[in-house]
Amino acid sequence: MTSFDAAFDWARRHVAAGRLPSAIVGVATTEGVVALDALGEVAGRPASVDDRYRLFSITKVLVGIAAARAIERGLLTLQTPLSAALPDFGHARDDVVRLCHLVSHTSGITECPLDATRPLRDELLLAGRDFAAGTVSRYSTLAYEGIAALLEDVTGQAWAETVIEWAAPIGATGLSLDDENAAEIVDAAAAGLSIDRFRELRSPGAGLVSRAEDLLLLGTELLRLSAGSRSTVLSPRTLQMMRRPLFPDVPRLDPYAAERGQDWGFTWNLRTRSPGLIDQDAFGHGGWSGTEFWVHPSAGAAYVLLTNRAIRARVDADELDNAVIGSL
């Protein structure tokens, strides 16, 4: 078995230095989970690989899979307008916001805080426009409330139930909006986030909680799909669709400016043009509290980092990426 000592050493250094309070690091291949360990402390006790963490924006790709499955079933297309589910959306706009815009951060919907004071559906309906849909890319979590609305309209069930429905058959049974006993974000207040308000919003762009194993089981499925095998999650061609950049040539605004090299596929962050990475065919996502989930098809590995600090000076997750892929 390949040794991933460099990856665990990376996490160990940051935990020992106090830059991360805890770190769950795991690696999967097409054969399943091949490495998994827990470092640091959670709630005053040693961290465990079974601990549950807030995923924040890794939630986006899990909702994206649910939306892609709806496309497979003929319930949605990339061109489905948001107004199909929310007729009151966009009355003051002279453009049309479609699913392709919502999943690629090109909707132009004015963003609200993660701990908004109004329900997210109200925020979405009352939001202004930053730019015409499809002309610029600016990262948006509120747009995922639009994806949730489309999903709920065509499936007749809550968005989280739709995610849990596809995750259960692969054994990823820890995915949930239930954040009881989830690792505390140690600096949430210092970073400006009210966890109590955030959790009440049940955000489809940031709200799920998970174990590392749940994401690693998904990573195994996505690696198999990338190699052309079948899966209960998606078809190989649907994953190919999700990995195609949707608006690669539009201007990109902070926090993902052009020099960072990212493209946006169907909810996936694509690293095909990122500078400095050992392997650049990765797709995945990171989260506000330091969580990371990445799949490297050509290297044949997927990895997870679960942690719980929002302000992470001198913590560069690309170093972990390089340590995982450099071990293969």
Tally of residues, the chain = 328
Name which of 8-22, 54-68, 166-180, 273-287 the model is least confident about: 273-287
Question: ω into residue 297 within 30 of 0, thus cis?
Answer: no
Residue 55 in contact with residue 291, Cβ under 8 Å? yes
Q: Give the confidence band of 260 by pLDDT, cuts at 50, 70, 90.
A: low
pLDDT, average across residues 246-252 = 93
Q: Give the confidence band of 272 by pLDDT, cuts at 50, 70, 90.
A: confident
* Between 46 and 259, the higher pLDDT residue: 46
CATH number of the domain encompassing residue 175: 3.40.710.10
Q: Give the confidence band of 253 by pLDDT, cuts at 50, 70, 90.
A: confident
* CA atoms of 312 and 185, how far apart (whole Å): 12
Q: What is the pTM of this model?
A: 0.97
> What is the domain range of residue 155?
5-326
Question: ω into residue 169 within 30 of 0, thus cis?
Answer: no
Backbone angles phi, psi at 203, to 5 degrees: -70, 125
pLDDT, average across residues 164-175 = 98
What pLDDT shows up at residue 133? 98
pLDDT, average across residues 222-234 = 97
Closest Cα partner for 267 from 288, 296, 238, 291? 238
What percent of the chain is modeled with pLDDT above 90?
92
Evaluate if residue 108 carries a pLDDT over 80: yes
> Longest C-alpha distance within the chain, in Å?
58
What pLDDT shows up at residue 300? 96
CA within 13 Å, CB half, 264: 28
Do the strands 22-29 and 32-42 form a parallel or antiparallel pair, or are they unpaired? antiparallel
What pLDDT shows up at residue 280? 87
* CA atoms of 233 and 246, how far apart (whole Å): 22
Rounded to 10°, the helix 317-326/5-16 angle is 150
User: DSSP E strands: which ranges in the chain?
Assistant: 22-29, 32-42, 45-46, 53-54, 209-210, 263-264, 269-270, 283-286, 292-296, 301-306
Name which of 115-124, 267-276, 303-312 the model is least confident about: 267-276
SS3 237: helix
Evaluate if residue 206 carries a pLDDT over 80: yes
SS3 38: strand
Rounded to 10°, the helix 58-72/143-155 angle is 30
pLDDT, average across residues 105-117 = 97
What pLDDT shows up at residue 277? 85
Q: Give the confidence band of 35 by pLDDT, cuts at 50, 70, 90.
A: very high
Q: Give the confidence band of 274 by pLDDT, cuts at 50, 70, 90.
A: confident
Dihedral sign computed on CA atoms, order 279, 283, 284, 285: positive
Closest Cα partner for 93 from 53, 155, 146? 146
List, in sequence order, every residue forming a beta bridge with 137; answer none if it has no partner: 252
What pLDDT shows up at residue 259? 64
List, in sequence order, every residue forming a beta bridge with 46; answer none if it has no partner: 41
List the Cα angle 195/201/202 in 5-degree steps: 100
Q: How many domains does the chain have?
A: 1
Q: Give the confidence band of 1 by pLDDT, cuts at 50, 70, 90.
A: very low
Evaluate if residue 276 carries a pLDDT over 90: no
